[in-house]
Amino acid sequence: MNIAYLVNQYPKISHSFIRREILALERQGYKVQRLAMRGWKDELRDEEDIRERAVTRYVLQDGAVAMAMDVVRMAVKRPGRFAKALALVCKIGLRADRPLPLHLIYLAEACRIVPWMAAHGARHLHAHFGTNSTEVAMLASMLGGPAYSFTVHGPEEFDKPELLWLGEKIRRSAFVVAVSSFGRSQLFRWAAYADWAKVQVVHCGIDQSFHAVAPRPSPAAPRLVCVGRLCEQKGQMLLVRAVQAVVAKGIPIHLVLAGDGEMRGEIEALIAANNLGSHISITGWINGDQVREEMLAARAMVLPSFAEGLPVVVMEAMALRRPVLTTYIAGIPELVRHGETGWLFPAGDVEALAAALEACLAATPAQLEAMGEAGHQRVLARHAVDTEAAKLAQLMRQSMA
């Protein structure tokens, strides 16, 4: 059965869960066409991402002239559908987070992918994120492409749902995927009650490279790791302040910030200002294998986020039998159990974060390993990639039927 996937940027270091989902669907017999707006020249570190790039078609790669020709062909071939899609674009573009010309570009992108999907024989189109990729999918469906669905991760979609026309995208879709019950509840807020049945929960899946790893004892060293983009919503600035509080008490600690991002300079400045260079290190971007090794080298993974959907790195740490220290937000408490698989603390509370760090550092190896095993069993039960992909495949089959 042939389907298509549409993502704004693919492959991408922080979106390996999309790659895992596609590969899991292919293991179940689907032929998946990869479509993306951009990503053909990005620096990639993961061999699997490099292979994925080779089989992805890029909408913007051939330039504006090629896309303009596709628009003309679509307008001539399907004038009625094109007029309706153009009318919707104008309606959206006059009250959206981005100006009207960008939405006209989304229409052009839709014109480009419709014949690609027809040549592939795609019977369904699935997009990730309820932003511009889903708008392109919606317009492609209006132009005669297959029915579409999309996965909403949050928190970006929940920050500006009206400007993203989330309700309209839900109304016109075959179904919508939320990655947690919390995410589903937020979609209910912006969907008409008649469309609530369309919203289904399908968890992001973890790769076997994480959950098939043989148990490795928790290290004796007071080493913790935080995996994620260095940005405001991940809370690393507060994490540095919490480490400072722990160090001030004379408690040994070393924190590895695994990742990179727009706030790296500010984080490095805060580390230097507080003389924490011997206690905190930053790796920069690393691939999936390196992330796994950083997690295994730490006694726990910490993620003090202010805004999330349901972080994949939390699932990965639990799959590797490492406890997790993270916040009471979004879908996280659906997976992490305080005192059982890790520590939960209020977002934005430096004192509570420091207390959680101290509790983790004071825990015995036996306590850490018991937490790790409990987390391992819990995440396997809820986030096995093939099980979750089978749920998504069933929704697609029902839509196509």
Cβ-defined contacts of 349-356 (< 8 Å, 24+): 350/238, 350/241, 350/242, 350/245, 351/245, 353/238, 353/239, 353/242, 353/304, 353/325, 354/242, 354/243, 354/245, 354/246, 356/302, 356/325
Q: What are phi and psi of 150, to 5 degrees?
A: -155, 150
Give the HSE-up count for residue 51: Cα atoms under 13 Å, Cβ half-sphere: 8
Domains of the chain: 2-205+384-400 (3.40.50.2000), 208-383 (3.40.50.2000)
Give the pTM. Answer: 0.92
pLDDT given at position 333: 97
Per-residue pLDDT of the chain (401 residues; tens, 9 = 90+): 999 999 999 999 878 899 999 999 999 999 999 999 999 998 887 888 999 999 999 999 999 999 999 999 999 999 999 999 999 999 999 999 899 999 999 999 999 999 999 999 999 999 999 999 999 999 999 999 999 999 999 998 999 999 999 999 999 999 999 999 999 999 999 999 999 999 999 999 987 777 778 899 999 999 999 999 999 999 999 999 999 999 999 999 999 999 999 999 999 999 999 999 999 999 999 888 899 999 999 999 999 999 999 999 999 999 999 999 999 999 999 999 999 999 999 999 999 999 999 999 999 999 999 999 999 999 999 999 999 999 999 999 999 98
Contact 17, 130 (CB under 8 A): no
pLDDT given at position 109: 98
Residues 6+ apart with CB under 8 A from 332: 305, 308, 310, 311, 314, 326, 344
Cis status, amide bond into 11, omega within 30 of 0: yes
Alpha-carbon span 40 to 113, nearest angstrom: 16
Q: How distant is the alpha carbon of residue 251 from its chain centre?
A: 35
pLDDT given at position 208: 73
pLDDT given at position 289: 86
